Amino acid sequence: MPIYEYYCKACGKQQSLLFMKIADVETSPKCQHCKRRRLARMLSRFAYHQGEDARLSTFDTSTPRDESFYRDSRNVGLWAKKRAKEMGVDLGSQFDETVDKARSGKILDDI
């Protein structure tokens, strides 16, 4: 299942959306917060040299990210992971796998 990070241009909230099939990605999804279809997908193909643990610890989910943040493919899924950590939710290894695939850009090959 593809997972993408979105930024809502209407309310400024970020969200990670999971899609059941790739065709759904092309339809414009609704913001989970304000229900408007103003989501911008954050594509990421940028490399920084920082480990994920460092990222997670410095990552502040309450601060809106700008677009450059999501150009780093390693930031894909980070928001969801951090939020899950904060809420004490275990997303499981399947989520990690999905994120890893999304980051490597290989997710389309599986569909």
Where do contacts with Zn ion occur on this chain (CB under 5 A)? 8, 10-11, 31, 33-34
When the beta carbons of 41 and 55 are compared against Zn ion, the nearer one is 41
**Residue 68 CB, nearest approach to Zn ion (Å):** 20
State the Cα–Cα distance between residues 110 and 101, nearest whole angstrom: 9
When the beta carbons of 12 and 105 are compared against Zn ion, the nearer one is 12
State the Cα–Cα distance between residues 17 and 30, nearest whole angstrom: 10
When the beta carbons of 64 and 105 are compared against Zn ion, the nearer one is 64
**Residue 30 CB, nearest approach to Zn ion (Å):** 8
**Residue 102 CB, nearest approach to Zn ion (Å):** 22
State the Cα–Cα distance between residues 63 and 102, nearest whole angstrom: 23
